[in-house]
Amino acid sequence: MPVVTVIVALLAGLAAGAAARPLIFARAVPRGEPTRTACTSCSAHYPAPGLRGRLQAVTGRCPACREKAGPPAGLPEALTGAAFAALAVTGASGWTGAAQYWLAACGAALAIIDLKVHRLPDVLTLPASIGTLLLLAGAALAGEPGNFWRALTAAGLVTAVYLALVVTGMGMGDVKLAPAVGALLGWSGWAVVFRGVFAGFALAAVVALVLTLVWHVSGKGRLAFGPYMITGAVAISVLATTLG
């Protein structure tokens, strides 16, 4: 993979992360609370208007009072940039690659919000699902390897599985993200659907075990599942498309 392609993907990811920062700030609030548009310390608008305000926001501090505001300095940018660069290294391309990049971009913002306040807001889960389906439709029209109808069916089945798991504590945000996960995995095959969904649960289980054994975090605490759900789906999808 040409180094220039990876660099371009990295820069695109950094830009996407920066663009998502105000949305993360606005939505990273407990369920039921209003979205935020201003610093909680001094009520200054966040981010400040204009390009300079956007750049100042990357520091994770309010430009007026310098108190912490929004995600930590560089976190959305670094997370999305790293995801895009990793996808570029694998050779992700075409409409299918675009769907993987899209879910990675939405997923980075969702992961930060979920880890902070344990919720996956509709303003990101719905575009993640709709965008993934539209890009896969483009892949089907372009004749790329995969099956769009299987992707649609998988989106419905995976959503049904997550909906059934609501009684065990699964969040509705995870359910609303499930169509994107199911569609992306279903595009490549039913075995890929199983592996991708399983990977999400396996990653979450490993992290929960490490938190319990190493940091002695109580197992009664709720684990944000969104980051593992997205990571497992994108990783398995990429493996399926690159390795055949």
User: What gap in Å lies between CA 166 and CA 146, rounded to an integer?
Assistant: 30
Which parts of the chain register pLDDT below 70? Answer: 1, 215-221, 244
What tokens were used for 19? Answer: 């663009």
pLDDT of residue 115: 93
Question: Token pair 């609303």 is at which residue?
Answer: 176
Report the largest interatomic distance among the alpha carbons of the chain, rounded to a whole angstrom.
54
Rg of the chain taking only CA atoms, in angstroms: 18
Q: For the whole model, what pTM was predicted?
A: 0.93
Q: Find, among 132, 125, 66, the residue nearest to 95 by Cα.
A: 132
Question: Please, what is the Cα angle at 137 between 171 and 111, to 5 degrees?
Answer: 30
pLDDT of residue 36: 87
Domain spans of the chain, in order of start: 1-91, 94-244
pLDDT of residue 218: 56
pLDDT of residue 244: 65
Question: Please, what is the Cα angle at 206 between 188 and 13, to 5 degrees?
Answer: 55
pLDDT of residue 137: 98
What tokens were used for 32? Answer: 């039921």
pLDDT of residue 216: 64
pLDDT of residue 240: 94
Question: Token pair 């649609």 is at which residue?
Answer: 152
Are the C-beta atoms of 104 and 84 separated by less than 8 Å? yes
